[in-house]
Each structure stands twice: as structure tokens, then as C-alpha cells.
């Protein structure tokens, strides 16, 4: 008896034997049980996932002598003939070699005749997308209203090439790639039935090489058996699959994370001299860094990404001291260079430049950590060590009142000095209910809310009467919209209420632009207005807008001009 390869010997013969296609199997089984059998089916999916096998099982289920049944007996003449591929009523047609209009015309003539010995005459057309446009058009009418004894089953790996007019006349079933664990489990049953000794790790390597195709994995397993015999070691599988190349990947990633460019070049040279194809090696390197990133992000769910358990342990070890952002940057570099590497004539040199660039890349710090560090530093600088009591001196602030320009407002410190008492005596009105133990209002706002405090740094406090706090802002004030709208205005009123120990409402008054040649305008107002002009110009700068666009959700807090400071004497 001639030898049957594993893919044919262990081909599924019932729906229960089909691996990885539960939705399709369940739908077809229920349809047969309920008697809701369509006249045309389209099975679409990658190669080697069971499309033709399921088509044959469906044909046996419909033509079995005990059927229609979801569990064909595989013993009656009809089932045996369909399994052997010599049934007169189940025809398998290769769409690639029978793609013309003449073949379809012949098929249209044959469907008129009743089946010879079975319940249905079934046509299985593989790679149906290879039919010509004329052939598809000739099939349309027959496909829409075939005789009651005819059923069409189409299989294709490229359903987007099938005309919509054909798709609309079929029940379409999508076959998915089979997971690595399901392929490994199937190979385990095959090895047990064949009396082969092999470790689960080696089986997972073979399953991974199948890349989601059961047929490919079984064919590779056939090669491994031919190479190593009935007792297969892990080293045998590594040799035939070329998995020994992985040692270079782990060494390379370790050197990249250690920022050792020289070691990266040495390891790549070793791989090149070992005869490894550089383009294939780059694809492996890309997948390796993808695995590093996935394990870093979802270490507890690594099995969902079809990564072998023993690889997960090594990947976790390498990613312990590196951030997610850094790994994502490495992967971006590899992906961006993949297309140019495919076109390059000097592949090794291209990989060397990529590795050196990655090795010298500084670790990327998460934006959240940067902001937290800056905020902590800002808070520390603001709070600072308290000055000694004997050195505290608060200058009373003298400004014009809004309601009565002749009146002035003074802010007194907690402990009065003779100079402060004299200044207080010269004022005609005083602010209401200000806590004696608190510094001036702006400092208090900065302590409570540093961002809000930065925005009102150039605002003039004009007065506080009957629970109404009046602030004066220049006409070109940068943050006018912020402090006049909720929630910034409400926050400012809340903090002022704490400061004055009463409910406070906020009133904003626009101050006319100062004239530098007028003697009545204070130097402080001139500086505040000039500073606002500088801030507005900086905010409208294209460079600033570009930086702001790079960080989603970023908010402008304050703009501070840089002053030149002379070094030394």
C-alpha cells in the first residue's frame, strides 16, 4: 500500500474532527438537523484550514444512507465513495484549470440529470475565484435557481475576487486561521497514533511554523519525522526548522537594551557567517521585538498571542528594566525600515545601521512620569523652606479702586510694623475679612492651584467689597477666556472664598493699555502689558503649535520669557 502523508491520512472525516472552525461546524450541523439546507455555499479562508474537508463532510452528511445527518456513518457506500473521491454524484472541480465558459456550459447541462445513487448531486468547485468573468455570468441563473437535487459548494482563498452577484446567491462561511495551541493539540494526537515520541515544546515549534495552517503544520511534521525518526528531540526540530537562529535574536535584543552597539555588530556578523539569510533574519528580528512589546504590555495574556510558554519567560526577563515606550520606539524603527530593506542591495549593511541606531537610542520616559516629576518639583519649589519670622516683611499694595478712583486698597500683613501701620493709616478703605495668618491673595492661589496661579500672575487685584472681588486685566490678556469661564472661574471664586473666609463672586474689569510716556501709569502695569504681548506672540509661534500637537490633551499653563543673565562679574 502506498504511503499517505499525514495531511491526507488524518484528514477530518466528521464535523467533530474539524479543529478551529467551531462557528462554521455548528451552523452547518444545526442547518442539517433543522432541514434548512441551502442550495449554494461559499467557504472562504486561508490555505490549509479545512475548507475542502468540510465540503466533503457536508456532502457525506447530505448523501449518507442514514441522513441527512450531522454525523455521517462513514461506512455506507455513499460515504466511502465520497471519502475516496470516486463518487459519481459528488464532483470536485478545480476552478483554476476549469475556468472557462465552455466548462461552465457543460456543468449547466449536467445539472439537469438526477443523481445516480445518492440523494443530492453536489458540485465542489475549489479556488472558484479563478473562474473568468464570462464563466461567472454563465453560472448566475443556474446558481440562483438550481434543480432541487443540486447543491453547489465553492471554496476560495480570495473571496474578494468573487463577484458580488455570486456572493449574494450563496451562504458565505468564513474560515479563520487555526491557533497554535489547537494545531499543537492535533499534532499531539497524530504523534500518539503514529507512536512518535516528541516533547510538547517541539510540537509547539512545529505548530508555530504552520502559521495558522493545519495542513502546513502536518506537512512540516512529516519532514521532521523523516529527519529524526520516531524519537524526536528538541535539537532535531531546531535543526530542521532553523530555530537555532533564535539565539542570535535574544543576544541582539539584550545588546540593544544594554546600548552596546559594538556587541550588536559582532552578533550580526556571526549570524551572517553562519549562512543565515539576512532578509529572513530581519523579519525574525521584527517579530522578536513585537513579542517583547506584547509581553511587556500583556504579560498575563501572552498565550493569546501564540507565543510559546518557554519564550514568554525569556521575554519577561529581558523586558523587566525597559519601558513600554522604549520598546514601542524600537518596533517603530524596525517597521519604518522594513520596506527600504526589502529594496536594498546591501541588506547586511542596512541592518547594521538600524541596530546601531537602536542601540544609541536613549530610553524613552513616559509622558505621565515626566509631568509627575515636573509637578512634584514645582510643588517643592513653591512650598520651599519657610523664611525666619524676623525676616518677613510684606509691602502693602496700593492700587486704585474701581468704584471710587480716589480710594485705595491696602493689604496688611499678619504682624504690623510701624511702617505698615503708617501705610495703613494713609488708606481710606480696607479689604474685608482677610485672614491675618495668610500671605497675599496671589501667593495663596498659587499654593492652592499652581496652574491657576500661573495664569493670574499678571492680573491686578483692584478691590474686594461686599463679597465681590474685582480683578483688572489688560485688553490683550492671554488667559482672559480661561478665568472668565467655568470651571476656572468657579475654582478662582472657591479659593478666594477660603482666603477671605466668605462667599466670593468674581468680577473682571479690563484695564486700558498703558502708555509708557504717561507719568500716571505704574511701571508694574507697563511690564505686565509687555509680558502679555510676549506671551501671546509665543503662543502663536508655529514651533509651539507643533510641539503642542505632539501631545494629545496637552494644556498651556504659562509662558515665561527667557532673560539673559551674564555669567561672572
Q: Which tens digit of pLDDT belongs to each residue from 220-231? A: 999 999 998 889
Q: What's the chain's Rg over C-alpha atoms?
A: 40
pLDDT value at position 411? Answer: 39
pLDDT-flagged residues of the chain (< 50): 386-439, 515-522, 564-569
**What 3-state class would DSSP assign to 392?**
coil
- Do residues 127 and 155 make contact, with C-beta atoms less than 8 angstroms apart? yes
pLDDT value at position 403? Answer: 43
Residue at grid coordinates 519577561? 316
pLDDT value at position 540? Answer: 53
**What 3-state class would DSSP assign to 313?**
helix
d(CA 206, CA 196): 14
By CB neighbour count within 10 A (0-12 exposed, 13-18 middle, 19+ buried), where does 565 fall? exposed
What are the backbone angles phi and psi of residue 180, rounded to the nearest 5°? Answer: -60, -40
Query: H/E element holding 508?
Result: strand 505-511
By CB neighbour count within 10 A (0-12 exposed, 13-18 middle, 19+ buried), where does 22 fall? exposed
Residue 375 has a CB neighbour count (10 Å cut-off) of: 12
- Do residues 60 and 87 make contact, with C-beta atoms less than 8 angstroms apart? no
The model's pLDDT over 135-146, given as tens digits with 9 standing for 90+, comes to 999 888 888 888
The model's pLDDT over 413-438, given as tens digits with 9 standing for 90+, comes to 444 444 444 434 333 333 444 443 33
Find the farthest-apart pair of alpha carbons in the chain and give their distance in angstroms, rounded. 122
d(CA 110, CA 115): 10
C-alpha cell recorded at residue 115: 443523481
C-alpha cell recorded at residue 112: 439537469
Which alpha helices (DSSP H) does 431-507 contain, by range? 441-448, 450-455, 480-484, 488-500
pLDDT value at position 11? Answer: 92
Residue at grid coordinates 512634584? 376
pLDDT value at position 276? Answer: 86
d(CA 94, CA 130): 9
Domains identified in the chain and CATH numbers: 6-174 (3.40.50.300), 180-241 (1.10.8.60), 243-359 (1.20.272.10), 431-550 (3.30.300)
pLDDT value at position 175? Answer: 94
The Cα-based distances of 518 to 323, 406, 410 in angstroms read: 58, 19, 24
Could you tell me the pTM of the whole model? 0.59
Residue 35 has a CB neighbour count (10 Å cut-off) of: 7
The model's pLDDT over 500-544, given as tens digits with 9 standing for 90+, comes to 888 888 888 777 655 444 444 445 555 555 555 555 555 555 555
The Cα-based distances of 281 to 243, 249, 375 in angstroms read: 11, 9, 45
Instruction: Give the end-to-end CA distance of the chain in Å, rounded to a whole number.
Output: 102
pLDDT value at position 235? Answer: 86
Amino acid at each position: 500500500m502506498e504511503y499517505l502523508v499525514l495531511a491526507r491520512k488524518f484528514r477530518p472525516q466528521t464535523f467533530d474532527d474539524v479543529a478551529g472552525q467551531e462557528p462554521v461546524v455548528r451552523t452547518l450541523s444545526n442547518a442539517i438537523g433543522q432541514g434548512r439546507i441551502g442550495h449554494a455555499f461559499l467557504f472562504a479562508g486561508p490555505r490549509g484550514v479545512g475548507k475542502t474537508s468540510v465540503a466533503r463532510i457536508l456532502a457525506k452528511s447530505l448523501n449518507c444512507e442514514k441522513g441527512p445527518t450531522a454525523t455521517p456513518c462513514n461506512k455506507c457506500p455513499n460515504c466511502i465513495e465520497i471519502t475516496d473521491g470516486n463518487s459519481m454524484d459528488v464532483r470536485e472541480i478545480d476552478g483554476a484549470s476549469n475556468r472557462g465558459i465552455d466548462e461552465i456550459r457543460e456543468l449547466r447541462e449536467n445539472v439537469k440529470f438526477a443523481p445516480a445513487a445518492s440523494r443530492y448531486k453536489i458540485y465542489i468547485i475549489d479556488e472558484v475565484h479563478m473562474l473568468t468573468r464570462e464563466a461567472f455570468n454563465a453560472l448566475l441563473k443556474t446558481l440562483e435557481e438550481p434543480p432541487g437535487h443540486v447543491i453547489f459548494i465553492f471554496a476560495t482563498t480570495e473571496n474578494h475576487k468573487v463577484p458580488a452577484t455570486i456572493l449574494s446567491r450563496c451562504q458565505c462561511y468564513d474560515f479563520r486561521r487555526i491557533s497554535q495551541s489547537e494545531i499543537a493539540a492535533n499534532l499531539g494526537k497524530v504523534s500518539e497514533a503514529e507512536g512518535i515520541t516528541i516533547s510538547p515544546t517541539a510540537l509547539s515549534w512545529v505548530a508555530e511554523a504552520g502559521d495558522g495552517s493545519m495542513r502546513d503544520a502536518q506537512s512540516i511534521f512529516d519532514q521532521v519525522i523523516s529527519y529524526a525518526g520516531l524519537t524526536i528531540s528538541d535539537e532535531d526540530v531546531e535543526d530542521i526548522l532553523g530555530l537555532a537562529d533564535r539565539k542570535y535574536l535574544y543576544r541582539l535584543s539584550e545588546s540593544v537594551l544594554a546600548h552596546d552597539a559594538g556587541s550588536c555588530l559582532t552578533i550580526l556578523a556571526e549570524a551572517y557567517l553562519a549562512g543565515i539569510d539576512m532578509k529572513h533574519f530581519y523579519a525574525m528580528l521584527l517579530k522578536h521585538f513585537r513579542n517583547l512589546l506584547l509581553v511587556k504590555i500583556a504579560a498575563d495574556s501572552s498565550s493569546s498571542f501564540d507565543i510559546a510558554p518557554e519564550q514568554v519567560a525569556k521575554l519577561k526577563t529581558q523586558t523587566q528594566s525597559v519601558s513600554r515606550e522604549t520598546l514601542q520606539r524600537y518596533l517603530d524603527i524596525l517597521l519604518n525600515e522594513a520596506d527600504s530593506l526589502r529594496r536594498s542591495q546591501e541588506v547586511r549593511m542596512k541592518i547594521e545601521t538600524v541596530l546601531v541606531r537602536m542601540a544609541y537610542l536613549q530610553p524613552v520616559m513616559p509622558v505621565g512620569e515626566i509631568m509627575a516629576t515636573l509637578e512634584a518639583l514645582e510643588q517643592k519649589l513653591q512650598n520651599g523652606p519657610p523664611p525666619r519670622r524676623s525676616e518677613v516683611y510684606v509691602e502693602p499694595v496700593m492700587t486704585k479702586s474701581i468704584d471710587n478712583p480716589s480710594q485705595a486698597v491696602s493689604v496688611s500683613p499678619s504682624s504690623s510694623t510701624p511702617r505698615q501701620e503708617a501705610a495703613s493709616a494713609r488708606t481710606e478703605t480696607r479689604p474685608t475679612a482677610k485672614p491675618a495668618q495668610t500671605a497675599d491673595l496671589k501667593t495663596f492661589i498659587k499654593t492652592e492651584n499652581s496652574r491657576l496661579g500661573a495664569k493670574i500672575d499678571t492680573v491686578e487685584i483692584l478691590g474686594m467689597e461686599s463679597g465681590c472681588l474685582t480683578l483688572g486685566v489688560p485688553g490683550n490678556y492671554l488667559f482672559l477666556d480661561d478665568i472668565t469661564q467655568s470651571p476656572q472661574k468657579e475654582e478662582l471664586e472657591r479659593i478666594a472664598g477660603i482666603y477671605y473666609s466668605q462667599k466670593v463672586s468674581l468680577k473682571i474689569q479690563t484695564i486700558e493699555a498703558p502708555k509708557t510716556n504717561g507719568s500716571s501709569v505704574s511701571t508694574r502695569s507697563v511690564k505686565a502689558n509687555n509680558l502679555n504681548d510676549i506671551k501671546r506672540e509665543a503662543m502663536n509661534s508655529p514651533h509651539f503649535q507643533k510641539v503642542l500637537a505632539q501631545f494629545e490633551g496637552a494644556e498651556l499653563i504659562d509662558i515665561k520669557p527667557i532673560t539673559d543673565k551674564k555669567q561672572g562679574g
